[in-house]
Structure 1
Amino acid sequence: MTPSTDDPNRRRGLRQALDQLGVDSPALWWSLLYFFCLLTGYYVLRPVREAMAASSDIEAIFPHGMIAFFADRGVSLGEFALQVIFTSVFLIMLVLQPVYGWLVSRFPRRVFLPVIYGFFILTLLLFYAMFDSGMPGRGLAFILWITVFNLFAVAVFWSFMADVFDNVQARACYGYIGAAGTVGAFLGPLLTKALVTRLGVANMMLVSAVMLVLCVVCLLRLRHYAVRRERARKLASGEQPMGGEVLAGLKLIAREPLLRWLALMVVMGVGVGTLLYNEQNAIARTAFSNAEQRANFFATLDLAVNTLTLVVQLLLTRKILSRFGIAPALLIPGCAIILGFSILAASPLPIMVAIVQVVTRASEFSLAKPARETIYTRVGREWRYKAGAAIDTVIYRGGDLTFVWLHKLLSAFGSNVVFGAGLLVAGTMTFGAWRLLREERKLPPERAG
């Protein structure tokens, strides 16, 4: 068949596929590009973060003054590096949550979304200078920054998607949007593996900054579709300041049963991941002698996670969400994690830790996360932008803080005890998913405003 005949047929087939999804094709394409660029930018830097967190060079992580402060009190920061990092992350989340609440309450969507990404772009340029000069303490500053970036940037992305798509469209499209992000998450580590040893860590900051600039272009293009949908459905306009209290998100979580169970499920999921993360870091710290080798190891692990995630997103996520709703997407990961931790509790071999880590993260990204995000298409803007962000930031990092210290306690008794506790955490997470499903059935089919 000639190209001139083949190409129109291909385009016609693509249009028919998009029509079956029930969405405007430009809105979907811009959303795909947006999430692709966002996760490419993040995953370029994630191996750098993991390498810094697992570094045995304590002066690369912490400032001299901080090291001396703890040393004067008989505490070696090298023994509590992860615990201090996670505590610092939680504290900075507590500070930033009201700042974020003030921003989304006082300014319309067209202002606060570009401002958030603009802040991250500017700070990436500062980190370029810090890593290029080898400034002491750059590790802690970067780890804090990238954790905040990952949580806030991704949280506002999904909140914005709930402005663009309704519930039916979200179930049809979120798997594909997630897949575009996974492709970006796949490309990021590849770029790091290809470039970091030749160009150095500092230049990875510039690569990520370019990706975030493209994110801003995408969100500006998508704003039109969000406005059009709000007008057609007579929803509260995102072009007006949201108003309300700065801490409304946390108050909603305390008041609403659905949000409480959602928060519990997220915290327990964080607990599962944190226990695995700490065991993984202990392995990397002893197995590799420098930051470049550790970055390469973590990049390889990310590639395995993203490969499995992409396969599930392309082949299963849409079918599960569209045909069966969110229940299987929430419960299947919980059951898989329970099985994995049961195996680890009996035989905590390093290779099994890596395998369970891959399965845990892949099931979260490909099934559980898209399923949870579709819930926000059926609630109001404060639930999406404030409560949703609070769960993904303060509540999330509170779970991190709790379990990183719990791991420190449990690790003294061996890996079997750590994974035995993880089994209980995974069971609680699955119970939280079941209760969340009961509350989700009470929501109206579409959001009210």
Structure 2
Amino acid sequence: MDPSSPATTRFGRLRAAMSESPPLLWSFVYFFCLLSGYYVLRPVREAMAASSDIEAVFPPALIAFFSNRGIALGEFTLQFIFSAVFLIMLVLQPVYGWLVSRFPRRVFLPVIYGFFIATLLAFYAMFDSGIAGRGLAFILWITVFNLFAVAVFWSFMADVFTNAEAKRYYGYIGAAGTIGAFLGPALTKALVVRVGIPNMMLVSAFLFSVCVMCIFRLRTWAVAREAERRQASGEIPMGGEVLAGLKLIVREPLLRWLAVMVVMGVGVGTLLYNEQNAIARTMFTSAEARADYFATLDLAVNSLTLVVQLLLTRVLLSRFGIAPALLIPGCAIIIGFSILSASPLPMMVAIVQVVTRASEFSLAKPARETIYTRVGREWRYKAGAAIDTVVYRGGDLSFVWLHKLLSAFGSNAVFGAGLLVASAMTFSAWRLLREEAKLPPERATQPGETHA
């Protein structure tokens, strides 16, 4: 291969980045294992959510409760799940706020992942024995895991890397996660039919254990960065109020627009997700077949995400800042929903779903996370987590019921509303950029942990 070829040059830049920033390798391994472990399980979640066997999803007592009141629970599967997830988030948010306020980073990060590993072992036993209602419990668990575990990861990365480093390295770190996300559904496709769903829980538990090892290794660099920038140490409990994250979102314009952008992005994804589930429910009859179908979609999403991360993300963030990375996805989604409004074909729904999720993972998410390198730890660990959990699931809850209403008028009505939501998401991204521009270029101190 020509040493000056683009592929070689990109590989050379990656090797140079590894040399100048040793924690980058451990961040790679951390995010790779985190998303790989999650994506091993994600097709299982989708298969259960789209299951036509209501007794595999809900406990018999819950089915009987709604049946006695004339409600067919199977017709409201997603609405019930999203409502339950939101209520769980409301309960867990103050618990999480208490944990990060009262304990240092070296304690609360391993505790969070240790809890998820322990519950995975419990799910292995539930699925292996075929306990009724296992589907609902697992769907709720993995949805909570995805939001908290990924939110904690990016908050931790903001402890390890400066803003300038984030713009150079977050694209690479995201690509490592995408490779893991690519491996996860590939493992599921290769193994789930042969070994069954319960054993996939053990695969994920092992991968999450590696994440805990990476946390302990990266903690050394986080401490060094904080000392170098004269910031409050993450090895000391940050204190503050349990609900400080939600209060910051209400008070700070930057966080408010970030929350609005996330909610609108959730709305776009939820409308697509519900349409996709309806398609899968009619096309496939078994949980394994649905798991295989959703694994194929995940592979397509992650393939496109990886290409964008390797070719565009680093260039856009390092040369032009976060503006293109936030606005390009919005424009792409507007185009996609415009097409769906006119022609809501199943294949087109799948294509727009792939493009929407890939642009979020490869561009919008890394761009948003670089903002947290320039603000205080309460903004990162409390407000950031609140946006990624309670606010995120509040958006989910709102739009899953909106989809139920709009679906009575057909797919065209769903995607017409989605076009308006996508436009609102793009507008909120523009307003977020105006607030982000008011932040100083780099954080040097941490006065009061309230602003950069």
**Given the two structures, how large is their TM-score scaled by the length of structure 1?**
0.96
**Counterpart-to-counterpart distance in 2, 1:345 and 1:420:** 5
Q: Which one of the candidate residues 431, 435, 445 is aligned to 2:441?
A: 445
Pair 1:250–1:201, CA change in 2 (3 A): same
Q: Residue in 2 aligned with 1:287?
A: 283
Deviations 1:148-185 (A, max 9, x none): 00000000000000000000000000000000000000
Q: Is the 8 A contact 1:23 1:169 kept in 2?
A: no
Show CA shifts across 1:382-401 (max 9, x none).
Answer: 00000000000000000000
Report the residue type matching 1:413 in the other structure.
Answer: F
Residue 405 in structure 1 maps to residue 393 in structure 2: no
Q: Cα–Cα, structure 1 residues 272 and 15, in superposed 2: closer, same or farther, change >3 Å?
A: closer
Measure the CA separation in 1 of the matches of 2:18 and 2:196: 45
Separation (CA, whole Å) in 2 of partners of 1:15 and 1:341: 39
Query: Structure 1: how far apart are the matches of 2:246 and 2:269?
Result: 23
Q: CA deviation at 1:203?
A: 0.3
Q: Stretches of 4+ moved more than 4 A in 1?
A: 13-19, 21-24
Which residue in 2 is equivalent to 1:9? none
2:239 alignment partner in structure 1 = 243
- Aligned runs of 1:182-261 on 2, under 5 Å? 182-261=178-257
Go from structure 1 to structure 2 and tell me whether the alpha carbon gap of 1:42 and 1:290 turns closer, same or farther (over 3 Å shift): same
- Structure-1 separation of matches of 2:311 and 2:437: 26
Which of 366, 370, 393 does residue 370 from structure 1 map onto? Answer: 366
**How far apart are 1:25 and its partner, in Å?**
3.4
- Say whether 1:348 aligns with 2:344: yes
Measure the CA separation in 2 of the matches of 1:401 and 1:131: 27
Deviations 1:61-96 (Å, cap 9, x if unpaired)? 000111011111110101101100000000000000
One-letter amino acid of the counterpart of residue 121, structure 1: I
Which deviations, in whole Å up to 9, do the C-alpha atoms of 1:276-327 show, x marking residues without a partner? 0000000000000110000000000000000000000001100000000000
Give the aligned partner of residue 388 of structure 1: 384
Seq. identity, %: 81
Task: Give the aligned residue type for 1:244.
Answer: G
Q: By how many angstroms is 1:15 displaced?
A: 8.1
Task: Give secondary structure in 1 for the equivalent of 2:22.
Answer: helix
**1: distance between equivalents of 2:152 and 2:266?**
19
Tell me the distance in 2 between the aligned counterparts of 1:232 and 1:219: 20
Query: Residues 23, 369 of structure 1: CA spacing in aligned structure 2 closer, same or farther, 3 A cutoff?
Result: farther
The SS at the match of 1:73 is coil
Q: Does 1:29 align with 2:25?
A: yes
SS in structure 1 at match of 2:384: helix
> Aligned AA for 1:356?
V
Q: What letter corresponds to residue 333 of structure 1 in structure 2? A: P
Q: CA deviation at 1:446?
A: 1.7
**1:310-348: per-residue Cα shift (whole Å, max 9, x none)?**
000001100000000000000000000000000000000
1:1-400 matched pairs, under 5 angstroms: 18-19=15-16, 21=17, 24-400=20-396
Aligned-residue RMSD, C-alpha: 1.7
3-state SS in 2 of match to 1:234: coil
1:444, CA displacement in angstroms?
A: 1.2
Q: Which amino acid aligns with 2:116?
A: F
- Displacement of 1:22 in angstroms is 8.9
Q: Indicate how the Cα distance of structure 1 residues 221 and 418 shifts in structure 2: closer, same or farther if over 3 A, else same.
A: same
Q: Give, as a single letter, the amino acid of the residue that structure 2 aligns with 1:399.
A: G
TM-score normalised by L of structure 2 = 0.95
Task: Number of aligned residue pairs: give it.
Answer: 440
Q: Is the 8 A contact 2:18 2:24 kept in 1?
A: no
Query: Equivalents in 2 of 1:353, 1:425: separation in Å?
Result: 16
C-alpha contact (below 8 Å) 1:22/1:169 kept by paired residues? no
SS of the aligned residue for 1:315 comes to helix
Q: Deviations along 1:3-23, whole A, 9 cap, x unmatched?
A: xxx9xxxxxx9787555x497
SS of the aligned residue for 2:300 comes to helix
User: For 2:141 and 2:440, how far apart are their aligned partners in 1?
Assistant: 38
SS at match of 2:146: helix
CA distance in 2: counterparts of 1:22 and 1:190, whole angstroms: 27
1:26, distance to aligned residue in structure 2 (A): 2.3
